[in-house]
Amino acid sequence: MTTNSVETDIDPLMVAERWMLEGRDVALATVVATWGSAPRPVGSHLVIDADGNFHGSVSGGCVEGEVISEAAGVIEDGEPKMLEFGVADETAWRVGLSCGGKIEVYLERVG
């Protein structure tokens, strides 16, 4: 089962560094742009390891589930991705941004 780290007051970048030192393969998701109603500000981070463990937040709910799913491929092939979520996207209802907001998340392998 994949779970969010219980260390909620720890900076996700510090968690990423620790996980890499432990030998884990790690991806980092960063909110790079927002429009309208967005749950997390630009600069918010979510760190994900190859086992699907994660820490931090880029949006919440289904958006994070989608980012975590995409992270597996980024960790495997090393190719970064720019992900967009918003009401104009056909996945808006599925990923939970039906409120009219839009976010862009840059996802990259680190380490």
Q: How far apart are CA 46 and CA 56, in angstroms?
A: 4
In-domain check, residue 30 = yes
pLDDT at 18 over 90: yes
pLDDT of res. 67:
95
Higher pLDDT, 78 or 35: 78
Residue 7 lies in a domain: no
Q: What is the pLDDT of residue 61?
A: 73
Asked if the structure places residue 77 within a domain, the reply is yes
**What's the angle, vertex CA 59, arms to CA 26 and CA 23, rounded to 5?**
10
CA angle in degrees (0–180, nearest 5) for 67-68-72: 110
Please report whether residue 6 resides in a domain.
Answer: no
Q: Alpha carbon of 13 to those of 2, 4, 65, 77, 88: distances in Å?
A: 19, 14, 19, 21, 31
- Name residue 36's beta-bridge partners: none
For residue 62, tell me if it sits in a domain.
yes
- Can you tell me the mean pLDDT for 24-45? 93
pLDDT class of 8 with cuts at 50, 70, 90:
low
- The residue range of the domain holding 54 is 12-110
Number of domains comprising the chain: 1
